[in-house]
Amino acid sequence: MDSVAKISSRERAQLFETAEARHTPRIAAPIIEKDFWVCWTLHRLFEVLQFHPQLIFKGGTSLSKVFNVIERFSEDVDLSLSRRDLGFATDRDPEQIGITNKERRRRLDDLTAHCQQAVLNKLLPALRKDFATVLGTSGWTVKLDAADPQTVVFSYPVSDLSGALPYIRPAIRLEMGARSDDWPAVDAELKPYAAEDFPGMFVVPTCKVRTLAAERTFWEKATLLHAEYHRPSDKPSKERLSRHYYDLYCLCRHSIGHQALKSGDLLERVVKHKSLFFAQAWANYDTAKPGTFHLVPPDARVDGLRRDYDAMQAMIFGESPKWDKIIQELKRLEGSINGSIKLTP
């Protein structure tokens, strides 16, 4: 991938624009460009820097780039550091049995602070030094996000594309964290969309990563929607929430979803972890189990989610199911989890 990163912006623009014309389904050139820089960044992190021995790639981008489950462009890169590698094992582990809730919160705050320091003092300078060996010292920046000191923002070199998309920001957010439970994880490969269409332009078109298993992501998404069902009306949801409903819709129609439904122990593990590391009394994680599981949003939130979903259509480059179809499928999935029906592949 470094060979493409080093060519001129005009040459890269020609590559991305030609890939747009050739790729099926059609993907806009600015998305192909950003996808390249996402993959290149992962290549530098996992294969060159080898920044962290237990670094895990997860979230929506992994569903798209590694598992090919969703046809949605996910621009942010969700990464997880091992809390044990940060020194939070045994008597510092927030998951230790027998500690008080107050002590657990103190350890979690301490863990977050250590993650922030690792990002500031290790990741940030390492990225700047490494990226400069390929990109030179101008035309790009790597900075901490002003609102989140665990997130690094890479403003990549923009090509001379003939057309721009206002909703595609020429920057990649590397969202780090250390609270996740990253089991099970698998070794996998990914490649840029441009490399699918023009492999000859890439000396090495693929990148090897360690990623969270998609079955785990299925239950992470499902329990998130369960918590959203119980969200109080005075606590507004985050922006772009509808993407999680779309992602779970795609997962439950895939063999990954059918496999996840056989893993009740994995659901229990996700619920236990969220109850300890992301505790919210209103989330009702104790009811995130067969018989009392909720996926479909309350009626009062449906219209807002529908508008949010309509606004993200430009990010879906494959089949774009109607919102009502997503809700219908999630009702079916909810029934399956609760034991009233069975999904068939």
Question: Running along the chain, 345 residues long, what does each successive block of 10 average in pLDDT?
Answer: 94 95 90 96 95 90 96 92 92 94 96 97 97 97 96 95 80 97 96 95 94 98 98 87 97 96 95 96 96 96 94 89 98 92 51
Domain limits of the chain? 2-212, 214-337
206, 191 contact by CB (below 8 A): yes
pLDDT at res. 340: 58
pLDDT at res. 225: 98
pLDDT at res. 344: 52
pLDDT at res. 30: 93
| Nearest residue to 215 via CA among 38, 65, 69, 46 | 69
Q: In what order do the strands lie in the sheet with 56-58?
A: 141-144, 151-155, 171-175, 77-80, 56-58, 207-212, 185-190
Find tokens 């439970």 and name the residue.
Answer: 181
Q: Name 50's Cβ contacts closer than 8 Å, sequence gap at least 6.
A: none
How far apart are alpha carbons 40 and 32 in whole angstroms?
12
337, 293 contact by CB (below 8 A): yes
pLDDT at res. 343: 52
Calculate Rg over the CA atoms of the chain: 21
| Nearest residue to 174 via CA among 42, 51, 304, 280 | 42
Dihedral sign, Cα of residue 126, residue 129, residue 135, residue 139: positive
Q: What are phi and psi of 174, to 5 degrees?
A: -100, 100
pLDDT at res. 53: 78
How far apart are alpha carbons 340 and 166 in whole angstroms?
45
3-state helix, strand, coil in the chain (%, to 5): 50, 10, 40
Angle at 60 between CA 40 and CA 55, to 5 degrees: 55
pLDDT at res. 161: 86
**Diameter over CA atoms, the chain:** 61
How far apart are alpha carbons 213 and 269 in whole angstroms?
14
pLDDT at res. 331: 97
How far apart are alpha carbons 179 and 274 in whole angstroms?
9
Position 118: which residue type?
A: A
